[in-house]
Chain A
Amino acid sequence: MTTAMTCTRLTIFTVAGIFLQILGLSFFVFGFFPVKPTLSGVSGSESYRDPFCDSSPISNESDLHHPEKLKLLYQELSGISSKYDRLILMVIDGLPAEFVLGKDGKPPWKVWKESMPYTQSLLANGDAIGYHAKAAPPTVTMPRLKAMVSGAIGGFLDVAFNFNTQALLDDNLLGQFFRIGWKMVMLGDETWLKLFPGLFMRHDGVSSFFVKDTVQVDRNVSRHLPDELNSDDWNLLILHYLGLDHVGHTGGRNSPLMPAKLKEMDDIVRTMHLRAMMDRSHDQGQTLLIIVSDHGMTENGNHGGSSYEETDSLMLFIGLNSNISDYASATNNVAFQVDLAPTLALLFGVPIPKNNVGVLVPGTLSSLRDFEQLRALELNSWQLLRLMQAQIQSSSFPGFSCNCFLDGTCEGIDLDISECSGDKEKQLICLFRNAAVLHGIWKSKKSTESSSAMEDFSRALDAYNTFLKTASEWLASKTTEKPVLLLGLGVSAMLISCFICATVFLSLFKEVYHEPKDQVCSLSYLLNLEEMFIFALLLILVISMGSSSMVEEEHYIWHFMVSTFYLLLLFKTAKSFNFSEGMNILRDFKFGSIFSLLISGRLLRGWHQGGVNWTYLPDISKWLQQVGSGYVKWIQLISNFLVIVLGLYTLFRTGLNRKSVRILAFGFSACGFLILLHAGRYQDEMSTDFGATVTVKVIYYLLSISAIGASLVLPWSALNKDKSFLAEVGDCLYSIGSAYILCWCLLQLLLQQPINSGPILLLFLQILAILCLSSNDLQVNEWVEIAALYYMGMAGHFALGNSNTLATIDVAGAFIGISSHSTILSGILMFMITYASPMLFLLSLVMYIGAKLRNHSHSTISTHPETSLGQILKLKLGFPCLVPLCINSILLTAYTVVLLLMRNHLFVWSVFSPKYLYVCATTLCTYIGVCIVAATVTYTFSVTTFLRSNRTRHNNS
């Protein structure tokens, strides 16, 4: 038969398809997610000149290397007198602006307000002005810091590098300050040190690594504060407090530790305000204090997504001397996080960073004189115009020439103010022209001392502000230009690989189910109900990906569909129910398994109310946390105990009572004991002491040794002369599979939050139930069962509290048992926590194959000794590898196309892109899982074959 593929060809095709898929995926990812800023280089003195002038440096080169001279040059060119000599930038990680400024014009909640009395009094007196600074997603620390100092909206992929911080090479404020000879001190999050290596005169970095530490991390920052405030050798002091974010991660917004932490922050603000700004005994010059937060937090204290709670970050200026009278106007202001960069650049007399898309924060200018205000706006406009020039062809700027607005010599431009309309680019140029013309009018009139100067001034101011706002929005939307070729290549490669996978699957499908020789098949083969359902589910998933609300609430689809599948199984079992047999035990077992699947599925669904829109609805985890942590402890204890007992039962079930199995069992029991010890002793204290780390490390080693040892040793020790070849392999695989699952479950019991130990147990029970069903002859095709396992894995993924926003990733768990900061290790741990359930179900495939082999060992295949190893491997391993790969490939390709279609959707960065990252990670998870399954099964088969041939040779001789 020509359609029948050999095992080697099958493998080659599959691997080629996967390779193509990886290639296409990487092409697409690098094409779709912007990583590079638009302009390279650093703003210099040319930024103080009209962008239509030639950009040759103004003075000779040698001056530019001398900080003091450069500073003077900038001061002279800018024409804005710098009032401030020093800047204190206090970053409070994860502080939502709502805590300080309230929401929707209402003052903040009483708890929060009372926790920060000094800051509130500053706001009430008009000494401070606060802004709700909208942060762009992803709301994670590093991209947000980059946005604050460079003014540019970073690429989405920054979040992927959040644990792998690299130096910020683009033009930024700190670099500009460094160039004019500022001395900078940094205390706090060491992300700054990684972003700006070598820029700080003094620094003390703390790690954001021990998430459960909420006290020491801030004490390490504050201990330097008295000394630093006394000394006058610095120009910029950066304080980055991480404690509040840690409080949020461990206890949410309403954590009991929150008021105390806010009070601590307030005390620091008071100290700084009194010592550095009010106390004029030292000759330190004027100091500006800015308090910002990099992002907000959700109700649960997580962040990463784009909800209002997460993007609502704070920007608070203290010491601006702006004339604000009432509390409302001091708190009820809105800005963007990127606006900090141009504001600081202009206030402190350095060029605005090149790729900045922010605009001057309006209220910060009021202390400047009129011409300085307009000059500042002009400089900001020029900088944005330069950025626009890089994206609009120069023919769109007709008649613009160097300083022509000043001299009134612009050719072909009538110097009247006109209504701006037309497409966005034309509109922007027109707005700029209006502003420049009005500015010119004001300048010319000022010299003639006209009485209407005031009116001209406000008109020019308005015109500039309109232009800046429009240009900023346009530029922010433009940062996402896509290279078409790369995207096309990526998508087509993925489509081809999807096609290859499907073809390989179909050929195997035909071979298995249409060959009359094979026992599984019936001659008149038709798609039955379950198979239709599996395909329908795939189709529904693909369709639902196009809707943003379905992406947000994806868990509903999975739970609904998986429960429907269980009901179909129930229907199928009821159909085959035979009255003549009566209620024998086998049937009861079957119904029992299905009912346990249904019940556990419902419990899993109710455990976490996931998604975005209905997270406030009650669920089991909220209820358990309300009734007290004692219940959670009990659940943890029971789950741990049951997982070990059931796991050991499956391990011993094969009758493989060899020494190695007993050692394995002992190892797992020891692990379980250690995990309980760890949970009981170290979990509530939130401490990171030495004992806990050592315990966890021991558990890691024990588990990995057990799992690897089981897979390597068990095939050699399985020697049973009475059994057939396949039965022997089946026994062995069953034991290895149960060792894998037990190992993975124990690891998850250690890593996951205590509340998730219940779902882990339920998932484990589900695997046992479905294996019990399939070994009791479910009359469902093999590939349907494997697809169902994959789907159950995805449903479990959401049952563990995951969603399609980045905010639900459990960061706290990623540092368990790591003693020194390691990006790779914590990344791996985070991946293991997030993909606990899909991985568990993929690993269960080993056990599944084993169970199938044990079941069919009495049937016909074993009597054909001439069937080669390759043929058996193809038949037994083909579907377990191909089905998950195919499903994943279809979903990945479909979602790539959806993302491409949705590239202009309003929610592309907040909903679709995070989901795409999850889809990519699922792909990775599938690859790893399938690799493990394939390697284990192949290894076991080869070892057993080798042993058998040895034995027969031994017997013969």
Chain B
Amino acid sequence: MKEAKEKKNPEISVSITISTWGAFAVYVITGLFLIFGFHVVRNKYSVDLISDPTLTLRLLWIIEFPIVVIIYSLFRRNPEKCSYFRAVGRSLVGLIAGALINALGAVSLGAPIGMQSLSKTIHWSFLMSVFTVVPATAVLGASWIDWHRIFASLKPIGIIEHMLLVPAYGAIIGGWFGAWPMPLDWERPWQEWPICVCYGAIGGYIGGQMVSLLTFLSEHKNLKLA
């Protein structure tokens, strides 16, 4: 059900645009794969995020990563100059770089550094990278001015850039809030790093998707009225 319309623009930034329904479809697919990931973890390996966070996080990002790359590479900038496989390739680089940035951010906010939490941190940051950096690398590549405009100045243009920006920040903010229960003395297993941060990030990611959809819809209406 890919309703993404391919339309070539003779303007400077040649890109593939997408309708609101297309965005909805992309979100549904990524969300379904996330659920599929949890399903595999529970039924195939019979663990979950609490009992074995390392394995769960690893499976989650390994399942989620290809689908995100496959979908978002369709919307890459300058499709005639940049081949599909190039977009896939650079999103691999983006995965690693994004994981590094996310891990550093988490550590600077106080994630534990010891050896026993190293693997958890690594896989968590890979998942975060899939949520935040990978789609943007697939679409934008190394166009730093666009990166700066979208992520630093918060001025995205068009639906696809909104789709890059809002869920990514949703995941980061969700993860930030997810860290809140950690110092409480409820003595629940999910208060460990990175479990509740992970829940927060996934929640924030999905929340960001919903928010962006709502903005698309309202803008759509406005356009119709105008």
Nearest-Cβ distance from residue B59 to partner chain A, whole angstroms: 28
The answer to whether B108 touches A598 (Cβ under 8 A) is yes
Would B108 and A549 count as touching, CB distance under 8 A?
no
Q: Which segment, of A182-190, A304-312, A428-436, A573-581, faces chain B?
A: A573-581
Query: Hey, what's the 0/1 contact readout for B162-179 against A, CB within 8 Å counting as 1?
Result: 000000000000001001
* CB-contacts of A588-645 with B (<8 A): 598-599, 601-602, 605-606, 611, 613, 617-618
Say yes or no: A556 contacts B108, CB within 8 Å.
no
Once bound together, how far apart are the Cα atoms of A571 and B173, in whole Å? 14
CB proximity of A762 to chain B, nearest CB, Å: 14
* Contact A567:B109 (CB < 8 A) given known A553-B183, A556-B182, A579-B144: yes
Question: Which of under 10, 10 to 19, 20 to 34, or 35 or more describes the interface residues of A?
Answer: 20 to 34
Once the chains bind, are B110 and A563 in contact (CB under 8 Å)? yes
Inter-chain contacts of B153 with A (CB < 8 A): 575
Q: Mark A550-564, 1 if CB is under 8 A from B, else 0.
A: 101100110110011
CB distance from A365 to the nearest CB of B (A): 41
Whether A550 pairs with B108 at a CB distance below 8 angstroms is no
> Could you tell me if B109 and A563 are in contact, using CB atoms closer than 8 angstroms?
yes
Most central of B112, B152, B179, B186 by chain A CB within 10 Å: B152
CB-based A-B contact count at 8 angstroms: 50
Q: Quick one: given A547-B184, A556-B183, are A571 and B152 in contact (CB under 8 Å)? A: yes
A599 CA to B114 CA, complexed, in Å: 16
In the complex, the answer to whether B110 meets A602 with C-beta atoms within 8 Å is yes
Residue of B nearest to A574 (CB): B152
Interface residue? B113 (CB, 8 A)? yes
What is the bound-complex CA distance between A855 and B211, given in angstroms?
Answer: 43
B184 and A549 contacting across the interface, CB-CB below 8 Å: yes
Chain B contact residues (Cβ within 8 angstroms of A): what range? Answer: 20 to 34
- Give the docked Cα–Cα distance between A142 and B182 (Å): 37
Is B105 an interface residue when CB atoms closer than 8 A count as contact? yes
Q: A579 contacts B145, CB within 8 Å?
A: yes
Query: Which of B105, B108, B185 meets A601, CB within 8 Å?
Result: B108
Output the least CB separation between A165 and chain B (Å): 36
- Which one of A547, A567, A613 lies within 8 Å of B105 (CB-CB)? A567
B139 to A: closest C-beta gap in Å: 19
Return chain A residues, CB-CB under 8 Å to B184: 547, 549-550, 553
Are B185 and A549 interface neighbours, CB within 8 A? yes
- In the bound assembly, the distance between CA atoms of A550 and B183 in angstroms comes to 7
Task: Provide the residues of chain A in CB contact with B109, threshold 8 Å.
Answer: 560, 563-564, 567
Assembled-state Cα–Cα distance A914/B183 (Å): 19
A564–B105 Cα gap in the complex (Å)? Answer: 9
Rounded to whole angstroms, the CA-CA distance of A613 and B185 in the bound complex is 8
Is B28 interfacial (CB 8 A cutoff)?
no
Minimum Cβ distance to chain A for residue B101 (Å): 11
- Contact yes or no, A567 B152, CB < 8 A: no
Which of A560, A579, A601 is close to B179, meaning CB atoms less than 8 Å apart? A560
A499 at the interface (CB under 8 A from B): no
Mask for B96-125, Cβ within 8 A of A = 1, else 0? Answer: 000000000101111011100000000000
Chain A residues within an 8 Å CB radius of B186? 549
- In angstroms, Cα B187 to Cα A549, docked, is 11
Q: Which of A549, A564, A575, A618 contacts B152 (CB 8 A)?
A: A575
Q: Note all chain B residues with C-beta closer than 8 A to A559.
A: 110
A118 interface residue, CB < 8 Å from B? no
Q: Enumerate chain B residues within 8 angstroms of A602, measured Cβ to Cβ.
A: 107-108, 110
A566 part of interface (Cβ distance < 8 Å): yes
Q: How far is it, in angstroms, between the C-alpha of A599 and the C-alpha of B184 when the chains are bound?
A: 25
The smallest C-beta distance from B6 to any residue of chain A, in angstroms, reads 31
Chain B residues contacting A606 (CB-CB under 8 Å) are 113
State how many angstroms separate the Cβ of A256 from the closest Cβ of chain B.
27
- Select from chain B the residue with minimum beta-carbon distance to A559: B110
Shortest beta-carbon distance from B183 to chain A in Å: 4
User: Which B residues lie within 8 Å of A571 (CB)?
Assistant: 152
Chain A residues 138 to 196 lying within 8 A of chain B, measured CB to CB, are none
Q: A549-B184, A549-B185 are in contact. Are A566 and B152 (CB under 8 A)?
A: no
Q: B112: which A residues are within 8 A, CB to CB?
A: 617
Cross-interface CB contact of A563 among B108, B113, B145, cutoff 8 Å: B108
**Cβ–Cβ < 8 Å partners of A564 in chain B:** 109, 176
12 contacts across the A-B interface (CB closer than 8 A): A556-B182, A560-B109, A563-B108, A563-B109, A567-B108, A567-B109, A571-B152, A579-B148, A599-B108, A602-B107, A602-B110, A617-B112
Among all A-B residue pairs, the 7 with the closest Cβ atoms: A549-B185, A553-B183, A556-B183, A575-B152, A574-B152, A598-B108, A563-B109
Chain B interfacial positions (CB closer than 8 Å to A): 105, 107-110, 112-114, 144-145, 148, 152-153, 176, 179, 182-186
